[in-house]
Amino acid sequence: MWTTVALVVTVLVILFVRANIRPAGFPPGPFCLPFFGNALHIILLSPKVAFEKYVNDYGGILSYRVFNTWGLLVSDPALMKAGMADPALSGRIDLILFDHRDSIIRRNKSAPLGIISTSGDVWKNQRRFTLRTLRDLGFGRSTLEPIMQEELEELLKLFREREGEKVEVGLLFNRSIVNVIWAITIGKRYSYDDKKLEKLVEKVSKMVQTFNPFHPALRFRWVKKLFPNLTVIHNTHHYMAELLAFIESEIEVYKQQKGDQEDTSCYIGAYLHELEQLKPDEEDDTSLSMDHLKANILELFLGGSETTSSTLWWAVYWLASNQNAQRAMQEEMDRVVGRCNTPTISHMDRLPYTMATIYEVQRMGDLVPFAIPHMATEATSLGGYRISEGTQMMFNLSHGLLNSRYWKDHDKFRPEHFLTEDGKVFKPDHFMPFGFGKRVCLGESLARLEVFVFLASLMHRFSWRITEDPVVWETSTVISRPPKFSVYIVSRDQDMD
């Protein structure tokens, strides 16, 4: 009997020791269980809570293991910037979520598609074309303002209709933001009562909510094979298929309407025009293709709509909960813009408190707690530690936004975090709400303008009062949503009291 016990103990000791042998040159990290590594801890506590505990124990760069896969968690802002800017760390891990998309588009297993999930020449070619085209279409410039103003008028109309009522405002923003992206993508918009728009908004929102790169079933193929009927797998495939069916049908409608007419005034038109210029010997998996076009459009929607609408949603929450900040923002606009005028992009540089408020919303909202995981495409180093090819990299954006080490009153909503003593707006180096480097969200420049145009105009016309303390919080490891809450919408022409 004692021999058996000794044997069992010996085997367990060996298993535990082997589970904690880190690759050469790796930083220290939390204790790992045999087989599971740190997976159970991360899943049970949530990635955000577990990783913050690891950071407190092991510092700004550490190693961890999920099942048989080692990864590095980088939380120190300076190291995050260096890591996200390093071309050797710009690869993308294998995300099963995008397998669903790519198999639906190509109907069989193939090389990755699009921008988010690709690496190397595929990523470079798709990203280069998309960036160039979006810039030509006005991304990050005031030339897009007429499109935004058209949607803003519709949104203002909705708010006017709900004056004095108790309203959940969050989902009101989605239609406006999706319409802006759709106008850039395909050159048209939907009326707000169009069922197609309603369904599109619903599908985009549900798709984003299912995207959890930490879920084992969306991270490891063996989990998917063992448990093929998991709800998360079914939902991911279902919403992805619905969105792609919609995109494919809209591309066909566009092609039929345009015929042989050349049109580069929208993303789809520019992409199709570029496709026609390709010579047969230039076509391969890295070049432009109809499959890549569908994947790119899906990514523009998923990346561009939910982050912007969630930012606006958070803005209403924080401003309705902080009446002093709300009044200060309104007083600045009254002084600079005037009560009878409309805030425009030309006012941005003259509204430092308004811009500081937007940055503080992004900080406190912690919209994207973690960058989508990167992968080392070749051996490199970071923070004095060796990183071997294939190592998974997790960049903890949340740490630089909410940690008391970097912010005075880190848990309070204070736009003054982004104002100098003489009232000028500035962004600290550790403020990276959407990441850094070439993997940063392509729609960030558009989102910046959209949030300003929509929020400034809404705050110029209305005041908000939160009706009750929120209870249920929306959680997601990709996009953080505010708690479900309601506000009273009050026209600024009325007495707030």
Numbered residues of the known binding site for heme: 441
Cα separations (Å) of 413 from 113, 359, 398, 430? Answer: 40, 11, 16, 17
Q: How far apart are CA 74 and CA 397, in angstroms?
A: 9
Kindly report the three-state secondary structure assignment for every residue of the chain. CHHHHHHHHHHHHHHHHHHCCCCCCCCCCCCCECCCECHHHHHHHCHHHHHHHHHHHHCCEEEEEECCEEEEEECCHHHHHHHHHCHHHCEECCCHHHHHHHHHHHCCCCCCCCCCCCCHHHHHHHHHHHHHHHHHCCCCCHHHHHHHHHHHHHHHHHHHHCCCCEECCCCHHHHHHHHHHHHHHHCCCCCCCCHHHHHHHHHHHHHHHHCCCCCHHHCCHHHHHHCCCCHHHHHHHHHHHHHHHHHHHHHHHHHHHHCCCCCCCCHHHHHHHHHHHCCHHHCCCCCCCHHHHHHHHHHHHHHHHHHHHHHHHHHHHHHHHCHHHHHHHHHHHHHHCCCCCCCCHHHHHHCHHHHHHHHHHHHHHCCCCECCCEECCCCEEECCEEECCCCEEEEEHHHHHHCCCCCCCCCCCCHHHHECCCCCECCCCCCCCCCCCCCCCCCHHHHHHHHHHHHHHHHHHEEEEECCCCCCCCCCCCCCCCCCCCEEEEECCCCCC
Residue 269: phi, psi to the nearest 5? -60, -45
Angle, helices 195-210 vs 231-258, to 10°: value is 140
Residue with tokens 């900040």: 325
> Is 150:189 a contact under the CB 8 Å cutoff?
yes
Q: How far apart are CA 226 and CA 119, in angstroms?
A: 28
Take residue 425 and report the two structure tokens written for it.
């707006």
Take residue 396 and report the two structure tokens written for it.
């903890």
Residue with tokens 């008028």: 153
Annotated binding site: 441
Count CB-CB contacts under 10 A for residue 237: 17
